[in-house]
Amino acid sequence: MRRAVALLAASLALTGLATGCGGGGAEPGAPIGATVVLDFTPNAVHTGIFAARSEGFYADAGVSLHVQIPGESTDAPKLLAAGRTEFAILDITDLGIAREKGLPLVGVMPIVQRPLAAILARADRGIASPRQLDGRTVGVTGLPSDEAVVDSEVSAAGGDPGRVNRVTIGFNAVSALAAGKVDAATGFWNAEGVALRQAGVPIRIFKVDEYGAPPYPELVLTTTERVLRQQPELVANVVAATRRGYRFTEANPARALDDLLAADPSLQRSDQQAQLQALLPALEPEPFDPRVLREWAAWALAHGLLQEKLDVAAAFDLSA
């Protein structure tokens, strides 16, 4: 998720979280150390990773996995490129932008199978479709991806994106909508959307893949071309164990949620349970669909998120 995060000192002391990168020098037969940098602070979307670690799936695969929280959403691509981490969870757009900047990053596994981006609209203001956002006030964070979501949804619904009154509200969609300061706002249906409904705010959720965008994987487990070339077994084992963790989450959501909360006791169980329930259909750990990736690349280019055509076969490992 493309959210800037101010790390509190306490975050570094979270149970089971570590900031060190995996290294060599292990005894023969010992687990291989590796680090994954999250895209955001731990939350329900990461449940499969924490379940895989807690249930011993990484250990079964011969991997000792450390989990690192990013200081900023831009940290992970830089850490990967610098060789300071072997893996990271990236927003698919961040992966594409990193490739354009010459960073040799490769997506190896989708974490979610569909976009999380959406327009969240007040249901009590007569907005039954993104088309009805013409002349309405829509809060955006200021990120280019938000502009793409608004343009895509309003256009696909038959409206005129140029007639939408966009105001920058940062990452305050929940408070702005709850207070009625905007008619709608961009946000994630699994996070802000769930929080608003829990708070009793009447909203309608318009998911971007229902209005113009393909069903692309929003979050992607990413490594570098170097790691993929030099340590293919490590990559394969991490991918296999992570998939196992998400399959476990699908089959045992309550126990997997326990694993997440054990790693970060500061999380509220009711919040994460509601988010996980919403996410479960999108967490199915399937391989990449090359057709969908090509459709996403074309959509991202058309909406200005990418500046040049992406080489999908180079940007994603399609062999698994």
* Helical axes 253-263 vs 269-279, angle rounded to 10°: 130
Verify that 172 and 239 share a domain, yes or no.
no
State CA 190 to chain mean position distance: 10
Verify that 110 and 175 share a domain, yes or no.
no
pLDDT of residue 75: 81
pLDDT of residue 70: 85
Q: Which of 210, 229, 252 is the last residue of a domain?
A: 210
Q: Quick check: is 141 in a domain?
A: yes
Residue reference for tokens 């831009």: 74
Instruction: Look at the pTM and tell me if it is higher than 0.85.
Output: yes
Q: What are phi and psi of 118, to 5 degrees?
A: -160, 165
Q: Which of 210, 234, 257 is the last residue of a domain?
A: 210
The domain tally of the chain equals 2
Percentage with pLDDT > 70 across the chain: 90
32/235 Cα distance (integer angstroms): 11
Q: Which domain holds residue 152?
A: 117-210
34/88 Cα distance (integer angstroms): 11
Pair of tokens at residue 83: 């060789």
Percentage with pLDDT > 90 across the chain: 86
* Helical axes 47-54 vs 232-251, angle rounded to 10°: 100
Q: Quick check: is 4 in a domain?
A: no
Residue 272's pLDDT band (cuts 50, 70, 90): very high
Verify that 104 and 228 share a domain, yes or no.
yes
Verify that 109 and 221 share a domain, yes or no.
yes
Verify that 60 and 179 share a domain, yes or no.
no
Report the CATH number that the domain containing residue 296 is assigned in CATH.
Answer: 3.40.190.10
Q: Which of 177, 210, 243 is the last residue of a domain?
A: 210
Q: Quick check: is 82 in a domain?
A: yes
Q: What is the pLDDT of residues 78-135, one digit of tens each?
A: 999 999 999 999 999 999 999 999 999 999 999 999 999 999 999 999 999 999 999 9
Residue type, 144: P
Verify that 33 and 103 share a domain, yes or no.
yes
Q: Quick check: is 175 in a domain?
A: yes
Verify that 221 and 203 share a domain, yes or no.
no
Verify that 69 and 142 share a domain, yes or no.
no
Verify that 177 and 206 share a domain, yes or no.
yes
> What sign does the dihedral 48-54-59-64 (CA atoms) show?
positive
Verify that 299 and 171 share a domain, yes or no.
no
Q: Quick check: is 105 in a domain?
A: yes
User: Does 137 score more than 80 pLDDT?
Assistant: yes
Q: Quick check: is 52 in a domain?
A: yes
Q: Quick check: is 1 in a domain?
A: no
Q: Quick check: is 234 in a domain?
A: yes
Verify that 185 and 42 share a domain, yes or no.
no
